[in-house]
Amino acid sequence: MSERKMIIGVFVAQHGHHEAAWRSADVPADAGICLDHFLNIASIAERGKMHFYFLADCAGVKEEKLSAIARVGRNDAFEPLTLLAALSVLTKNIGLVATASTMYNAPYNIARMFASMDFLSKGRVGWNVVTAGNIFEAQNFGDDPLPEHRIRYGRAREFVEVAKGLWDSWEDDAFVRNKETGIFADTEKLHVLQHKSEYFSVRGPINIARSPQGYPVLAQAGASADGIAFAGDIGEVIFAADQTLEGAQDVYRRVKSRAQSSGRDPSHVIVTLGVVPVVGRNDADARRKLEELQQLVHLDAVIGVANRQFGFVIDLAKYDLDGPMPTEMPLSNQTQSRQRVLIELAQKRNMTVRDILYQVAIGRGHMLVVGGPKEIADQLQEIFENQGSDGFMILPPTLPGGLEDFVDLVLPELRRRGLFRDDYEGATFRDDLGLPRPKNQFSQRRHGARPSGSAHPEQRSKVPADLDH
């Protein structure tokens, strides 16, 4: 029996992660705007005792050509923070992680919204920090072209530090709410941020108490050089994508090494590998399910998605589908890590353009595992026990069916092997993941302690007698 247990979450796309999922007979066509659908998925995940429920986001239509937009099923969906707020009061145990960009939001608003949702959920919220990586999203906010990769990560670092400073505006016991004395808040325990640096000028304080977790769990998915550095310095749950054990091990080592060199405990940085499981009663049944989905794919849709994964630096519609996949192309200024994964995959396997499109249709470059429960558990166990991950982000090919297959068939097999837990293990998301609750950086200073993960150098905590002073 293994003492170390897998951390497992579900990445919830509207219909599922296969590009033709919306056409499957057992998937609701309007899934993206159906609250009952998302709640049903959460119920299945909670029944499986999964650690978290993850929602991605892009503030815009992702595809470039109308031929692709007409056929993809991802441009009709809830804004994730709105959906997360609803799920926070309709679920009980599972961690809830939503994506919010540091490019096209303000730190104050994001800090306030996540603190609010942490209270609503009784401490079960996580923030997937993204820098934004789509040119059409950028154009919706007046950026054309998308700012450089390096600049986006610089802004993201400062954004997160400002948010942490705002979450620490009030010490944990600052709101005394004493009806007899008439004192609602102890202002000795109020800290005004007064942040001013390269990207942001934020006075503070936030107008909500310090939330149950202190900070939401911070998630991150970048695997470029900048992304690895950001993950190791700031991230607590890392979403990795690779096609091989060796590639997953490399990302795992780099993230853990960066965390350690930054003075962090590497065990407090949880690396999960994205996996698309096609689960059947046996291998033949699983391959039949996959082939049925592949038959529903239209080339216009998958070419549009593939062009986006490569950062729109190439148009695969102009190439012979049965010719070799071109691997010499400019570095994308969008999602560089996914471009790298697909290029390396094509090189290692001598893939054709059609082969790459096949891979993109299934899960946009995430690892595909196909088979019965034992075969899939074997593959996950090999990765987990050989330091390829601390667990997995499950990307069901269809929803809810693909998740039900994983929960009802694969998770029992993992439990039989002692690799996955039997029940939830903490009151908050942090507790359940085994992550510490961050101490308030300003209260530590007030008591003469040096805080870990201190605020940006330009942040100053001030408690004036009059906030307008």
Residue 455 has a pLDDT of 43
Q: DSSP string of 407-422?
A: IIIIHHHHHHTT-S-S
Q: DSSP string of 280-335?
A: -SSHHHHHHHHHHHHTT--HHHHHHHHHHHTTTS--GGGS-TTSBPP---PPPSS-
Q: DSSP string of 191-219?
A: -B--EESSS-EE----SSPPPTTSSPEEE
Query: What values do phi and psi take at 450, rounded to 5?
Result: -90, 120
Amino acid identity at 416: R
CATH fold of the domain at 7-169+206-282+366-438: TIM Barrel (3.20.20)
In contact, 188 and 443? CB cutoff 8 Å:
no
Cα Rg, the chain, nearest whole Å: 22
How many angstroms separate the CA atoms of 450 and 460, rounded?
Answer: 14
Q: Give which of 80, 121, 120, 107 is closest to 206, Cα–Cα.
A: 107
Tell me: cis bond preceding 205? Omega within 30 of 0 counts. Answer: yes
In contact, 13 and 80? CB cutoff 8 Å:
no
How many angstroms separate the CA atoms of 280 and 290, rounded?
Answer: 10
- What does the pLDDT profile of the chain (469 residues) look like in tens digits? 458 999 999 999 999 999 889 999 999 999 999 999 999 999 999 999 999 999 999 888 878 788 878 888 888 999 999 999 999 999 999 999 999 999 999 999 999 999 999 999 999 999 999 987 677 788 888 877 778 888 889 999 999 999 999 999 999 999 999 999 999 999 999 999 999 999 999 999 999 999 999 999 999 987 778 889 999 999 999 999 888 899 999 999 999 999 999 999 999 999 999 999 999 999 999 999 999 998 898 888 788 777 877 877 788 888 888 888 888 877 766 666 667 777 887 788 888 888 888 877 787 778 999 999 999 999 999 999 999 999 999 999 999 999 999 999 999 999 999 999 999 999 999 999 999 999 999 887 766 655 444 444 344 455 555 665 3
Distances (CA, A) of 78 to 13, 29, 75, 452: 11, 14, 10, 37
Q: Which residues contact 202 (CB under 8 A, 6 or more apart)?
A: 107, 108, 162, 165, 166, 193, 195, 196
In contact, 306 and 360? CB cutoff 8 Å:
yes
Written as six digits, the tokens of 46 are 């909670």
Residue 449 has a pLDDT of 58
Residue 413 has a pLDDT of 98
Strands (E), 51-94: 52-55
Residue 453 has a pLDDT of 45
Written as six digits, the tokens of 413 are 């097999």
Written as six digits, the tokens of 338 are 């996914």
Over the stretch 262-303, which tens digit does the pLDDT of each residue have? 999 999 999 999 999 999 999 999 999 999 998 898 888 788
Residue 445, classified by CB atoms within 10 Å of its CB into exposed (0-12), middle (13-18) or buried (19+), is middle
Please state whether beta strands 217-220 and 237-240 pair in parallel, antiparallel, or not at all (unpaired).
parallel
- Give the pTM: 0.89
The angle that helices 353-363 and 336-349 make with each other, rounded to 10 degrees, is 130
Helix (H, G, I), strand (E, B) or coil at 155: helix
In contact, 361 and 297? CB cutoff 8 Å:
yes
Written as six digits, the tokens of 67 are 């031929």
